[in-house]
Amino acid sequence: MYYIISMDRIKTGIPGYDTIIQGGYIPKSVNLVSGGAGTGKTIFGLQFIWNGVTRFLEPGLYVSFEENIRDLEADALAMGWDFSKYPKKLKCIYHAPYEIENFVDRLEKEINQLKAKRVVIDSTSTFGMALKDDYEVRRKLYELIAALKKIDCVSILTSEIIGGGDVSGAGSLSRFGVEEFVSDSVTLLYFAGLGGHSDRTLRVIKSREINQKKGLFPMEITSKGIVVHVKKDMYE
């Protein structure tokens, strides 16, 4: 007998990854992508937005707290993703970390204007940079995530883990140690330290409402973006 799971899923379109999370993200969910420097967090976010616009007809907003949006768009173009082709459906914006007080208001306006269905916020590490203490960072992060959960879109927050994260899954999963508790799913990107092909690795640590495939999956960054290698029947 076959059981059909009727729950809608929002496909990331990242090869292999949707299989790990049983078809895609949960509608309206907030998803954390964490990892050390250079592990592929930004490319993951760009690919999610690009696939949304080009394959699933879902407008996407990419928010960066790094000043140079041109560099970001050039990174996307290097993967073959020409963001300038979709000016009405795809938007990258810069928000200054020292103007964080008005961020949620601006975010809501931008999402409404674009009718965005996908949002990436890159990264919580830079988001919290100008805030004076951990209490303030947590307060603003809760406010941000609460706002995102009310809107009908799926979001990714990236977070840099100092030291690169622990491949065993122990230790902190995000920059401020709160993002993982308020996010619906947590994906960690690592360098496994093995070198060669299998050096990049991905693991889904938690995902609310989803029985994700467990374990470490080899990941590659190719000239067309991220590919996660999932063998059939692996970790079932």
Q: What is the C-alpha separation between 159 and 70, in angstroms, rounded?
A: 21
221 contacts ligand ATP (rule: CB under 6 A): yes
Quickly count: other Cβ atoms within 10 Å of residue 30's Cβ: 24
Q: Which of 12, 34, 39, 42 binds Mg ion (CB under 5 A)?
A: 42
Shortest gap between Cβ of 40 and ligand ATP (angstroms)? 4
Determine contact, residues 106/92, Cβ cutoff 8 Å: no
User: Which residues ranging from 53 to 82 are in contact with ligand ATP (CB under 6 A)?
Assistant: 78
Whose Cβ is closer to ligand ATP: residue 42's or residue 185's? 42
Shortest gap between Cβ of 41 and Mg ion (angstroms)? 5
Q: What is the C-alpha separation between 193 and 199, in angstroms, rounded?
A: 6
Residue 111: phi and psi, rounded to 5, are -65, -45
Q: Give ∠ CA 94-130-45 in degrees, rounded to 5.
A: 40
Interface stretch with Mg ion, choices 34-42, 87-95, 127-135, 148-156 (CB under 5 A)? 34-42
Whose Cβ is closer to ligand ATP: residue 37's or residue 194's? 37
Q: Which of 52, 145, 153, 160 binds ligand ATP (CB under 6 A)?
A: 160
Whose Cβ is closer to ligand ATP: residue 68's or residue 112's? 68
String of contacts with ligand ATP for each residue 3-42, x by CB under 6 A: --------------------------------x-xxxxxx
Torsion of CA 86, 57, 123, 29, to 10 degrees: 160
User: Which residues ranging from 66 to 95 are in contact with Mg ion (CB under 5 A)?
Assistant: none
Q: What is the C-alpha separation between 116 and 103, in angstroms, rounded?
A: 16
Q: How many CA atoms lie within 13 A of 173 on its CB side?
A: 21
Q: Residue 215: which of ligand ATP, Mg ion, none does it interact with, CB under 5 to 8 A by kind?
A: none
Q: How many CA atoms lie within 13 A of 84 on its CB side?
A: 7
Residues that bind ligand ATP (CB under 6 A): 35, 37-43, 78, 160, 221-223
